[in-house]
Structure 1
């Protein structure tokens, strides 16, 4: 098997894992509030990443990489895992899974818009049209196609979902400034974010008692969304000659996710969800093509 074939395999595996996450979120939120879900999933992921770093013999890099960019890591840890997952899980708690997961895929458009004030980038007419197309898809999904009534399932849920895209875009922009091993870097971010999560959970919720079903779902989220999927994705990018091809494979994930949402959660998928999601993905792919050019 060639490196490109391996890269495609890892990318497909990652897309499959990602496609289960929206369903896992909703199952977990049946038993846990968003604060508890953040704590237990991040605690699980931090444990997994620590074990992986130790097995790879890179434990010594944790201190050295943190010392090189301590301020940056503290900011990154505040954004992700803390603020990002608080907003994301809050959105899933209030919205149907099909809406929350589709809105989350609009984050590259948030990145495009944030690059204007933060990186002094110019917003071209084509990029602006891509943003309008994507956020037209967002509006279509949020209103289930009922533009005239602007009937949102949960306005607060929509705000949280879109806020999570802004937080993730900020995290991505800051993350490009750090150097070193990516898995070690992610572990440091989680270690820096964990004190915020512990404090917030103690303040707004509690840690125990917890239903075994909720704990299992939170562990799944921590192991998959914040752990194995990330590592497989890094492998795919490392092996691929053409990262654009690998990136495009990842956009199978939201459509596969709708299959799990419909069959496991029992949600009726609105036609507007499919149409809006296609608008978002087309806009993101077009923007990526423009960026590469």
Structure 2
């Protein structure tokens, strides 16, 4: 009985050692990056239960770093933006797996490595905001606002796309006459553009950021239209609505004429009856 208890205790100790050393844990899978406007996070899929994770990241030009928020965490994602502020560097991250109840970090945990990421090339670029102002009957002003990123200056203010890409940033401007489908394009590096237009015609615009090196496009914005200064009320209403208005006026005239004719006939008949009572 005593030898059996000793054997069982020895097995439990060995099992604990194996669990603590990470031999029963499997490395996580499907490690991937998500980066939008330089907001960059690492995601993965777990392969074991009751596991905590620690994440570390390094660049070609930087040493390994750990984020306190991503040390012995149970979540399967980690925001690494603050540790990846050098946008020209190429980064690789690792996810280390530990037993949830083990307070000590083992020297040889299961490790899963991410693919490399280079933010200038790999981050996705979002939409840019803009305004459209009719300056006069023939001139329209388009003002573009550079999107902010999650890369920061030393004073912690956020950099814009222009701060990062400089002269490599330009905008593709799509424009067309309102109520038409014929789009035209114009490429510009400027944030304020003056466009010529026909008097009394409304023009619509949408814009798309374009990075010339590394070559990639951002998301296209929704469209905005200018006012139609000098436009007639008929143009603003539309041809179909104008036709319905004309038809309504004609119908009203017809009704008034009909009522008038009917009343005139009744009055005439009544007058004849009074003048010739014997014919009644």
TM-score tier by shorter-chain length is: under 0.3
TM-score scaled to structure 1, two decimals?
0.20
TM-score scaled to structure 2, two decimals?
0.20
Higher relative contact order (CA 8 A, sep 6+): 1
Q: Kindly indicate which of the two structures has a greater share of residues assigned to strand.
A: 2
**The structure with more radius of gyration:** 2
Q: Kindly indicate which of the two structures has a greater share of residues assigned to helix.
A: 1
